[in-house]
Structure formats: C-alpha cells, structure tokens
Amino acid sequence: MNTLDRIVRVLPLVLPLALVAPLVSPTQVQAAAQNGEDGSDSEEQTYDYGARVKIEVRMEDGTVVKHRGEMRSFGNEWRFEFDGADHHHALTLNASGEEGDKKLEVTLAYERDGMAVIAPYKDTYPVRKRQSLWTQDGKLAIALTFIPTKFEREDTSRDDKEKIDPGDSDDPLGGNLFK
C-alpha cells in the first residue's frame, strides 16, 4: 500500500475531526481569544461592601438601649427591630458609600411601639466614629457607629435550602403506587 492510498483512507476520518475540534474548545478560552486576553481569570467580586452598626437609643428617662446589626450592602433600606426598656424599637437606616469612604450619607427613621418618633432624617456620619442625633427637646438621642465590612455573598446558583420532604403529599410519585 503506498502513501497516497493511506492518505485517501484517512482523509474521511481526519477532515470531520478537524472541522469539529474548534467547536469543542472551552467557552472561556474562546472568549479570552476574542477579547485579546491571555486567558487568565479575572477575579470577580465575591463580597458585598456594607457596615456593622452599633445602635444606642437614650430614652427620655436616661435609660440606654443598645443593639448591634449589619447592613450587608449600601444603597438598601435596612430595618432593625429590637426590644428594650419595656418598648419595641424600630430603626430604619439607608446608607450610601463606597469602599474607602471616610463619611457615609445616612437616612434614618425611628419608631417606638409602632409610633413614628423621628421622621426620615438625612445626615452625614463618619466611619468608625460614634455620632449622636438628639431630638429638638433634648430628651431622646440615637447614637450610631458604622464599621465598614466586607460581607461574603451567598451562593444563589443552587437552591438547596428547600429540599422536598419525603412525606410531601403534593408529590405525584410519593407513596406506594401499587396499592
């Protein structure tokens, strides 16, 4: 068998393989080649930037109620509810800021026992320093301390949190089918 016969016999196998091989390459390699990148993975941000919040409410009788909370991201409204000094407190905070900022723009509102005590109020708060807001009559104060923090993002690609209960009556294949 000469060389020409071998090439003719192998050609029907090699030609389709040569045409299909570029389609099988990973999409990341193709995207990197199209963008002119060297294929190195660029790190995606895997955290949200927010703040841990220390809340202190000084009541009219001098009693101080303390609470700690987390604002897991800026730009969202966060509501902190807690009990203390025989009252139910609710503080709504919305802060805006970027990583590395020394001051935050904060909007706060305060309710006690379901009644609005402080209407939404906007102010600038320093990072890592305690700042107080007093009412006009000087009887009530709210002190806030914002400590910037990076919070890990939760993996939302899979929803394993709600698993099917084996005794679920809505399952069409549940139970014995041959009764």
Q: Which of 32-46, 106-120, 123-137 has the lowest mean pLDDT?
A: 32-46
pLDDT at 169: 61
Closest CA to 105 of 116, 94, 92: 94
pLDDT tens, 15-49? Answer: 777 776 666 555 545 555 555 554 444 456 688 88
Average the pLDDT over 52-63 and give the result: 95
| Position 172 pLDDT exceeds 70 | no
Average pLDDT value over all residues in the chain:
81
pLDDT at 22: 64
What is the spatial distance between Cα 82 and Cα 87, in angstroms, rounded to a whole number?
9
Identify the residue whose tokens are 């009556």.
Answer: 169
Contacts of residue 43, defined as CB under 8 A and 6 or more positions apart, other chains included, come to none
Closest CA to 151 of 67, 70, 94, 55: 70
pLDDT at 166: 57
| Position 79 pLDDT exceeds 50 | yes
pLDDT tens, 93-108? Answer: 999 988 889 999 999 9
**Confidence at 4, pLDDT banded by 50, 70, 90:** confident
pLDDT at 19: 72
| Position 125 pLDDT exceeds 60 | yes
Q: Which of 19-33, 52-66, 120-134, 151-165 has the lowest mean pLDDT?
A: 19-33
What is the spatial distance between Cα 120 and Cα 94, in angstroms, rounded to a whole number?
10
- 88, two tokens: 């139910």
Q: Are 104 and 124 in contact (CB under 8 A)?
A: yes
Cα 155 to Cα 46, 60, 79, 80, 158: the distances in Å are 10, 44, 23, 24, 7
